[in-house]
């Protein structure tokens, strides 16, 4: 085997020479690379520097030329309540309110306003039914006091009829719109076995109400109320029942009904149990509380108000992101919305056994 | 009707086959064929150039590495094989008259890293190649572009001329004025219905598994159908045929790993990716928290030339991806999205100059929004797609090629949802589609290449039948050795669509469905004209112009204010533009630019408006530097003129209904009024990204550290205006990221 360490001076010279050349090449290579790096750094700096200057983005304002318009917000509401306690009776009420304002040339930092200050007064506001009946709305009450809106009371028989709104402002601008007042919804108790009264029993998860769908009712809202009476205090009160109960970590959250369009609605029994139990919370003598029935209110929006609600409150999910979509308007000649809704309220008795299971008294209301 | 349509195709194949006189070219000549593969791992090399020295004969390998050169004079020849990133090879071959000589070639990779990042197949030996609108993208090109957290094929595509996106936070892309659902994404020939992770921020395609991606912006052949705008054909790697190899990468968002190696007769490849720290993604969502959890897993097993079938290759492949947003809160909705793909491919080279590609595949997609007790709407979308493909290619001695085949698709789509108007939709449809195609490529003329094709729709998924014939024409004329003129015409139809709204910048749920019966299938015709010039050996310039007419597009009904109105309607579209791309490369620098000038419109009756993704100018500059000693640097700069938006022409007090039980006309809220008839443009968008990579070796592994910074100079590019507040929401801010990759 050749001893590689047994080198002659000649060999050493060669090695030294090669090493020098290598070192020189290495130095040259390093110098060359340094040069390249410096050039690249200069190129990058030259690119980035002017871009930094333009990075200070000016505040961009998406405003076009201001367009002055009248804005009309009008709602007709019809309420119908049917009571069975202490004796069967009905109550009905129908009225219309219209608020007129103007658009304004401000886009950001818009504060909520005192609506009374921006109401456009002096307008001629009227409702016209298809049968020729008309109603005039006033911005004063019967005593001559100024209201912050235009108002009129309407006969109850306009349910299902088309109502045309006409607004003529003092500068002769005409704004028109229309709505069809929705029919009232009469619910019945769907859950079997509760004919004698609502109670939570084995096998039941929900108390379900159903009704015949009405063609001119689009969006629906439900609300269940439990009225109760505290005997010793001679005090009437009420509590709203959530539709469901959810757990958020260790906390319990109550979920109240949101918009829907089906022909039935479910309230979960745990939510009803929870609402009933909460009435007597902190009260030692539960028999001091009288509970007999619950009230279910159903509110139906007409087509116009439903579309408006969907564009302003419609919620697909928390991540989807939609753009530039205007709020629905059905005011010809301006902006805003004119719609109607009807509300029915009906009473449904509880089963006495169910109420007594909470320790409460089941007596007919006084 | 069906019989008539089939007869037309068979007749066309018959006429074309027999009109070509092979014997004129065949006497005393032989053929050469084989596969070109990487010597280190046996992976097929697509678009390698093969030339017979001293002649004008040659051919590129196809996307499976296969090549075929007909009409070679009898005798000994030298074949020169070259491909960027590999050392050129000269191989002596003996050609016998009237025989096919098979030579498989293994190319040795070169050490110059920058050559790897170049676009694949930069200059073909076949100068009359018909490839207008086609872009070939390699894995290395994808990985060189700094993308933040994850390298992404779709981000590479977004930087191409003629391709736009609506923001930094989405991998969705829009090609030449077409909507994002007009893009076909194929993985080993199988449709991927939801190619996105994490609300569309990333694509599901892990670059680790990619061998080659062919992106076609419109001049696609008749073998592709069902989409109007583009075809992205992703071919995954076969896996290392020589050695076992494992890779692992840890990034700030997800970790991924791959394993590959030889098996008797072939190889396998397994890849997997899993998210583990989704909090980073809140940067993409304007600070909103989204507890994402996503994964993807793929496998591919191939058996090449099994004993029982000579010159055949079988591939079994699968891909599974899932995205879940689990909020662990009953008051917030959850999401569950899945893709499942399984396929079998059989690639066969027959004794004659015929080869075939037959595949059977299943692609399943399921997306579900689980509302729990939130106000969200319950939504469910399912697609079950079973497809069989039969493709045949015959190469004549004249170099001409005849392609023909058929596609059968059995598709079931289910859509159950409640729309914004609280209307329940339950739409389920099961249908079958049968298409055939024939294509004849004239390669016999040295300076001309003509590709005449026709796709025929025998059976349609929809009630309303799309057009019977979809002609495709592609043409190349080499005016000068360094200059080619190219043209193409492409007609296509689409019967599947996503019910998406281009007003939704972020859409979690984009359901795929067979078009409802009230909608007609969409149609598009695109005309393209282009020039390709080799300015120098290192500098290439491509200019393309196009005009695309779209009919019967399905878009959301802007006039829908009631549950009973149709959700979607048919409208038309139109787009045109000019694109200019250039590439320069030397040993330490790679420089690419892509500019496009374009117009796109949607037309609904007399109303003509710009879609959200309409940009007038778009410029992308990419440069890569090999700094030596394992360092490489990349810079990308993107510039777009502003996207369209509707300006505000004032504000007003609108009725505020926060509680539907307390509706009072006195409860009002100041609100902007958008002028929907006027269109303005947002300010310019521009952004610089920088990536720095360092490779180093240890005794047991090779490591790569990739560091990147997005939006280096923190440009405040506008994403959108909040419709409630009018507040400006910006796109991605300055965003650094780092990842480590180990290769065993």
pLDDT one-digit tens code per residue, B172-208: 899 999 988 999 999 999 999 988 887 777 888 888 8
Residue A242 has pLDDT above 80, yes or no: yes
Residues A317, B423: C-beta atoms closer than 8 Å: no
Cα separation, A208 vs A191, whole angstroms = 5
Which one, of B405, B406, B425, lies nearest residue B415 by Cα? B425
- Tell me the shortest Cα–Cα distance from A334 to chain B, in angstroms: 11
The string over B244-277, giving b where at least 16 C-beta atoms fall within 10 Å of a residue's C-beta and e elsewhere, is ebebebebebbbbbbbbbbeeebbbbbbbbebee
Partners of residue A112 in chain B, C-beta under 8 Å:
669-670
Q: Which residue has the higher pLDDT, A245 or A314?
A: A245
Q: Tell me how close the Cα of B392 comes to any Cα of chain A, in angstroms.
A: 44
pLDDT of B384: 96
Are B535 and B541 contacting, i.e. CB atoms less than 8 angstroms apart? yes
HSE-up of residue A305 (Cα within 13 Å, Cβ side)? 32
3 state SS for A141-164: CCCCCEEEEEEEECCHHHCCCEEE
Instruction: Fold for A70-180, please state it.
Output: Immunoglobulin-like (2.60.40)
Does B515 have pLDDT greater than 80? yes
Cβ(B39)–Cβ(B238) under 8 Å?
Answer: no
Q: Tell me, what's the pLDDT at B658?
A: 84
A168-182, B21-35, B57-71, B74-88, range with the lowest pLDDT: B21-35
Confirm whether the ipTM is greater than 0.90. no
Does the distance separating the beta carbons of A301 and B627 come in below 8 Å? no
Q: What angle do CA B360, B361, B364 make, to 5 degrees?
A: 160
B177 and B598 in contact (C-beta within 8 Å)?
yes
Please name the member of B422, B506, B656 whose beta carbon is closest to the beta carbon of A321: B506
Tokens read off for B454: 């026709």
Band (B655; pLDDT cuts 50, 70, 90): confident
Structural tokens at position B676: 């929907």
pLDDT value, residue B1: 52
Tens of pLDDT, residues B680-718: 888 889 999 898 888 888 888 888 888 888 888 888 888
Average pLDDT over chain B reads 84
Share above pLDDT 70 across residues of chain B, in percent, rounded to a whole number: 88
Please indicate whether, in this complex, the C-beta atoms of A324 and B714 are within 8 angstroms of each other: no
Cα B108 to Cα B40: distance, rounded to the nearest angstrom: 7
In the structure, what pLDDT confidence band is assigned to residue B140 with cuts at 50, 70 and 90? confident
pLDDT reading at A11 higher than 50 = no
Largest CA-CA distance found in chain B, in angstroms, rounded: 97
Token digits of residue B521: 């299938």
Tell me if B505 and A318 make a contact (CB, 8 A cut-off). Answer: no
Alpha carbon of B560: minimum distance to chain A alpha carbons (Å): 9
pLDDT band at B287 (very low <50, low <70, confident <90, very high): low
B652 touches chain A (CB under 8 A): yes
B682 touches chain A (CB under 8 A): yes
B268 at interface of A, judged by CB pairs closer than 8 A: no
Written as six digits, the tokens of A42 are 């200069």
pLDDT interval class at A62 (50, 70, 90) = confident
What is the average pLDDT across B481-485? Answer: 87
Cα–Cα–Cα angle for B70, B71, B77, rounded to 5 degrees: 95
Q: Which domains does chain B have, with CATH numbers?
A: 2-112 (2.60.40.1120), 134-643+682-743 (2.40.170.20)
User: At residue A16, does pLDDT exceed 80?
Assistant: no
Is a pLDDT exceeding 50 seen at residue B121?
Answer: no
The pLDDT value recorded for residue B203 is 86
Specify the pTM: 0.82
Query: Is the CB of B671 less than 8 angstroms away from the CB of A37?
Result: no
pLDDT over 70 at B480, yes or no: yes
- Reported in sequence order, the residue ranges of A3-88 that DSSP labels E, i.e. its strands, are 70-83
Of B372, B652, B686, the CB nearest to A71: B652
For residue A108, which residues of chain B lie inside 8 Å, CB to CB? 726-727
3-state SS class at B592? strand
Q: Choose among A244, A291, A240: nearest CA to A270.
A: A244
Chain A residues near residue B727 by CB distance under 8 angstroms: 108
pLDDT at B100: 84
* Phi/psi of residue A236, nearest 5 degrees: -95, 140
A93-146 tens-digit pLDDT:
899 999 999 988 865 555 555 556 678 889 999 999 888 889 999 998 888 888
Q: Euclidean distance between the first and final Cα of chain A, in Å?
A: 121
Q: Residue B414 above 90 pLDDT?
A: yes
Residue ranges in A75-165 assigned as alpha helix (H): 115-118
Among A215, A231, A235, CA closest to A306: A215
CB contact under 8 A, A103 and B376: no
Task: Among B333, B628, B645, select the one facing A318 at the smallest CB separation.
Answer: B333
Question: Which of A115, A311, A335 is facing B666, going by the closest CB pair?
Answer: A115
pLDDT of residue A52: 56
Nearest chain B residue (CA) to A104? B651
Rounded CA separation B499/B567 (Å): 9
With 60 as the cut, is the pLDDT of residue A230 above it? yes
Q: What is the pLDDT of residue B66?
A: 87
* Helix residue ranges per DSSP H, B108-186: 113-117, 139-144, 153-158
Which site among B665, B667, B674, B713 would you substitute to test the A interface, given the most A Cβ atoms closer than 10 Å to its Cβ?
A: B665
What pLDDT score does A106 carry? 66
Neighbours of B85 (CB within 10 A): 20
The whole-angstrom separation of Cα B669 and Cα B717 is 29
pLDDT at A7: 40
For residue B438, is pLDDT > 80? Answer: yes
Q: Which residue in A has a C-alpha nearest to residue B634's C-alpha?
A: A44
Looking at per-residue pLDDT, the higher value among B113 and B369 belongs to: B369
**Contact of B602 with B608, CB cutoff 8 Å:** yes
- Cβ contact (<8 Å) for A317 and B648? no
Least confident of A271-280, B47-56, B575-584: B47-56
Closest-CA distance of chain A to residue B558, Å: 9
Contact predicate B164/B613, CB 8 Å:
yes
Of B65-79, B211-225, B228-242, B549-563, minimum mean pLDDT range: B549-563
Predicted confidence (pLDDT) at residue A3 exceeds the cutoff of 50: no
d(CA B202, CA B705): 21
* Pure H helices in B1-158: 2-19, 23-26, 113-117, 139-144, 153-158
Mean pLDDT of A214-219: 78
Residues in A closer than 8 angstroms to B325, CB to CB, are 319
| Chain A residues with CB-CB distance to B507 below 8 A | 320-321
The reply to whether omega before B741 is within 30° of 0 (cis) is no
Supply the pLDDT for residue B21: 46
Query: At residue A46, does pLDDT exceed 60?
Result: yes
pLDDT at B332 over 80: yes
Mean pLDDT across B312-339 = 88
Q: Which among B509, B657, B666 has CB closest to A149? A: B666
User: Residue B361 in contact with residue B325, Cβ under 8 Å?
Assistant: no
Residue B20's Cβ-count burial label (10 Å; 0-12, 13-18, 19+) is middle
Residues of chain B found within 8 Å of residue A325, distances taken between Cβ atoms? 503, 674, 723
Mean pLDDT on B32-58: 86
pLDDT top residue among A339 and B629:
A339
The answer, for B653 touching chain A at a CB cutoff of 8 Å, is: yes
Query: Which positions in chain B touch A74 (Cβ < 8 Å)?
Result: 665
In a mutational test of the B interface, the residue from A317, A334, A340, A345 whose CB has the highest number of chain B CBs within 10 Å is A317
Chain A nearest-CA distance from B569, in A, is 18
Give the closest-approach CA distance of B713 to chain A in angstroms: 5
Asked if A111 lies within 8 A of B676 by C-beta distance, the reply is no
The whole-number pLDDT of residue A112 equals 55
Residues with Cβ within 8 Å of B413's Cβ and at least 6 positions away in sequence, in order, are B381, B382, B383, B427, B428, B429, B430, B496, B512, B513, B514
CB-closest option in A57, A75, A108 to B716: A57
Residue window 397-426, chain B: list those with CB within 8 Å of chain A. Answer: 420-424
Please tell me the distance from the alpha carbon of residue B442 to that of residue B220, in angstroms, as a whole number: 16
Q: Which of B635, B118, B707, B621 is nearest to A41 (CA)?
A: B635
The strand pairing partners of B68, in sequence order, are B33
* CB atoms inside a 10 Å sphere around CB B104: 13
Q: What percent of chain A has pLDDT over 70?
A: 77
- Taking CB atoms and an 8 Å cut-off, how many pairs form between chains A and B? 259
In this predicted structure, what is the pLDDT of residue B487? 94
Please answer yes or no on whether A307 and B562 come within 8 Å at the CB atom.
Answer: yes
pLDDT bin (cut points 50, 70, 90) of residue A66 is confident
How far does the CA of residue B551 sit from the closest CA of chain A (Å)? 25
Q: Which of B375, B651, B661 sits opposite A104 (nearest CB)?
A: B651
Partner-chain residue, chosen from B507, B588, B674, that has the shortest CB–CB distance to A324: B674
pLDDT at B318: 96
Residues 294-333 of B with CB under 8 A from A: 325, 329-333
Residue B119: predicted pLDDT: 43
Residue B118 has pLDDT above 50, yes or no: no
Q: Which of B422, B562, B721 sits opposite A260 (nearest CB)?
A: B422
Mean pLDDT, residues B68-83 taken together: 88
Among chain B residues, CA nearest to A110: B670
B509 to chain A: which residues are within 8 Å by CB? 316-317, 320
Is the pLDDT score of B341 beyond 60?
yes
Cα–Cα–Cα angle for A223, A225, A229, nearest 5°?
Answer: 170
Closest-CA distance, B67 to chain A, in angstroms, reads 41
């Amino acid at each position: 085997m050749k001893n590689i360490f047994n080198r002659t001076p000649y060999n050493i010279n060669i090695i030294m020479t090669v090493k020098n050349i290598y070192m020189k090449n290495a130095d040259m290579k390093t110098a060359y690379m340094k040069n390249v790096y410096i050039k690249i750094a200069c190129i990058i700096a030259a690119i980035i520097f002017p871009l930094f200057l333009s990075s200070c983005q000016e505040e961009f304002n998406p405003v076009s030329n201001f367009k002055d318009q009248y804005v009309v917000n009008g709602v007709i509401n019809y309420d119908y309540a049917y009571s069975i306690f202490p004796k069967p009776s009905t109550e009905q009420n129908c009225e219309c309110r219209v608020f007129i304002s103007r658009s304004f040339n401000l886009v950001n930092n818009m504060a909520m306003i005192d609506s009374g200050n921006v109401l456009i007064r002096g307008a001629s506001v009227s409702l016209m039914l298809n049968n020729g009946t008309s109603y005039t709305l006033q911005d004063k009450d019967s005593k001559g006091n100024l209201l912050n809106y235009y108002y009129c009371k309407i006969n109850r028989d306009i349910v299902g009829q088309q109502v045309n709104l006409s607004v003529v402002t003092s500068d002769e601008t005409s704004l028109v719109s229309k709505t069809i007042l929705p029919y009232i919804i009469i619910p019945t108790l769907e859950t079997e076995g509760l004919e004698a009264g609502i109670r939570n029993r084995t096998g039941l998860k929900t108390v379900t109400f159903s009704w015949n769908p009405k063609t001119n009712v689009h969006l629906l809202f439900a609300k269940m109320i439990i009225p109760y009476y505290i005997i010793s205090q001679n005090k009437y009160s009420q509590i709203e029942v959530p539709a469901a109960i959810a757990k958020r970590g260790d906390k319990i959250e109550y979920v109240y009904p949101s918009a829907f369009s089906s022909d039935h609605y479910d309230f979960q029994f745990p939510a009803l149990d929870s609402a009933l139990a909460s009435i007597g919370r902190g009260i030692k003598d539960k028999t001091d509380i009288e509970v007999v029935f619950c009230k279910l209110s159903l509110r139906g929006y007409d087509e116009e108000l439903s579309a408006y609600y969907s564009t302003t409150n419609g919620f697909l999910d928390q991540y989807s992101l939609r753009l530039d979509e205007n709020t629905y308007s059905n005011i010809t000649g301006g902006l805003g919305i004119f719609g109607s809704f009807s509300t029915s309220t009906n009473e449904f008795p509880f089963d006495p056994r169910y109420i007594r299971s909470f320790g409460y008294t089941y007596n007919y209301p006084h | 009707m069906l019989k008539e349509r089939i007869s037309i195709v068979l007749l066309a194949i018959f006429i074309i086959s027999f009109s070509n006189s092979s014997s004129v070219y065949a006497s005393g000549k032989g053929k050469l064929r084989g596969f070109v593969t990487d010597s280190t791992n046996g992976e097929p090399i697509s678009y390698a150039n093969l030339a017979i020295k001293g002649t004008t004969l040659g051919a590129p390998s196809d996307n499976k590495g296969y090549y075929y050169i007909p009409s070679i004079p009898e005798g000994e020849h030298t074949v020169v094989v070259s491909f960027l990133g590999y050392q050129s090879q000269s191989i002596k071959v003996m050609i016998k008259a009237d025989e096919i000589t098979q030579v498989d070639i293994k190319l040795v990779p070169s050490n110059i890293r920058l050559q790897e990042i170049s676009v694949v197949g930069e200059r073909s030996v076949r100068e009359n190649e018909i490839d207008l609108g086609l872009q070939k993208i390699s894995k290395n090109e994808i990985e060189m572009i700094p993308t933040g957290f994850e390298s992404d094929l779709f981000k590479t595509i977004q930087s191409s001329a003629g391709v736009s996106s609506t923001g930094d936070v989405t991998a969705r892309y829009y090609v030449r004025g077409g909507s994002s659902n007009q893009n076909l994404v194929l993985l080993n020939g199988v449709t991927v219905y939801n190619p996105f992770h994490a609300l569309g921020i990333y694509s599901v395609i892990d670059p680790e598994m990619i061998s080659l991606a062919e992106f076609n912006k419109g001049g696609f052949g008749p073998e592709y159908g069902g989409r109007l705008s583009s075809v992205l054909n992703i071919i995954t790697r076969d896996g290392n045929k020589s050695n076992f190899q494992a890779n692992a990468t840890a990034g700030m968002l997800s970790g991924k790993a791959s394993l590959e190696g030889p098996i008797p007769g072939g190889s396998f490849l397994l890849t997997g990716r899993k998210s583990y720290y989704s909090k980073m993604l809140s940067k993409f969502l304007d600070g909103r928290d989204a507890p994402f959890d996503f994964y993807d897993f793929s496998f591919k097993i191939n058996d090449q030339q099994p004993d029982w079938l000579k010159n055949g290759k079988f591939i079994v492949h699968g891909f599974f991806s899932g995205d879940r947003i689990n909020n662990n809160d009953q008051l917030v909705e959850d999401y569950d999205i899945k893709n499942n793909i399984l396929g079998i491919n059989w690639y066969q080279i027959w004794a004659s100059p015929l080869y075939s590609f037959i595949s059977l595949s299943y692609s399943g997609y399921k997306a579900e929004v689980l509302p729990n007790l939130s106000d969200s709407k319950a939504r469910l979308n399912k697609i079950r797609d079973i497809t069989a493909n039969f493709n045949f290619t015959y190469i004549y001695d004249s170099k001409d090629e005849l392609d023909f085949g058929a596609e059968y698709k059995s598709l079931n789509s289910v859509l159950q949802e409640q729309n914004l108007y609280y209307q329940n939709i339950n739409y389920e449809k099961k249908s079958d589609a049968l298409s055939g195609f024939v294509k004849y490529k004239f390669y016999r003329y040295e300076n001309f290449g003509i590709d005449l094709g026709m796709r025929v729709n025998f059976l349609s998924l929809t009630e309303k039948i799309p057009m019977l014939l979809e002609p495709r024409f592609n043409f190349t004329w080499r005016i000068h050795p360094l200059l080619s003129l190219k043209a193409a015409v492409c007609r296509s139809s689409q019967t599947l669509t996503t019910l998406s709204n281009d007003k939704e910048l972020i859409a979690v749920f984009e359901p795929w469905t067979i078009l409802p019966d009230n909608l007609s299938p969409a149609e598009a015709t695109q005309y393209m004209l282009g020039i390709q010039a080799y300015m120098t050996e290192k500098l290439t310039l491509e200019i393309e112009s196009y005009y695309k007419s779209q009919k019967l597009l399905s878009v959301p009904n802007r006039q829908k204010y009631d549950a009973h109105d149709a959700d979607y309607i048919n409208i038309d579209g139109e787009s045109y533009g000019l694109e200019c791309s250039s590439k320069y490369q030397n040993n330490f620098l790679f420089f690419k630019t892509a500019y496009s000038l374009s117009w796109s419109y949607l037309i609904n009756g007399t109303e003509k408006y710009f879609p959200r993704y309409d940009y007038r100018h778009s410029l992308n500059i990419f440069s890569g530097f090999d700094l030596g000693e394992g360092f490489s640097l990349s810079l990308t700069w993107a510039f777009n003129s502003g996207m369209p938006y509707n300006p505000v022409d004032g504000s007003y007090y609108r009725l505020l209904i926060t509680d539907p039980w307390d509706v009072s006309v006195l409860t009002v809220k100041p609100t902007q009024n958008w002028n929907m008839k006027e269109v303005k443009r947002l300010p310019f968008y521009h952004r610089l990204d920088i990536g720095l990579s360092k490779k180093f070796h240890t005794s047991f592994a090779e490591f790569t550290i990739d560091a990147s910074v997005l939006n280096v100079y923190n440009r405040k590019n506008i994403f959108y205006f909040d419709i409630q507040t009018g507040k400006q929401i910006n796109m991605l801010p300055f965003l650094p990221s780092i990842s480590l990759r180990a290769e065993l």
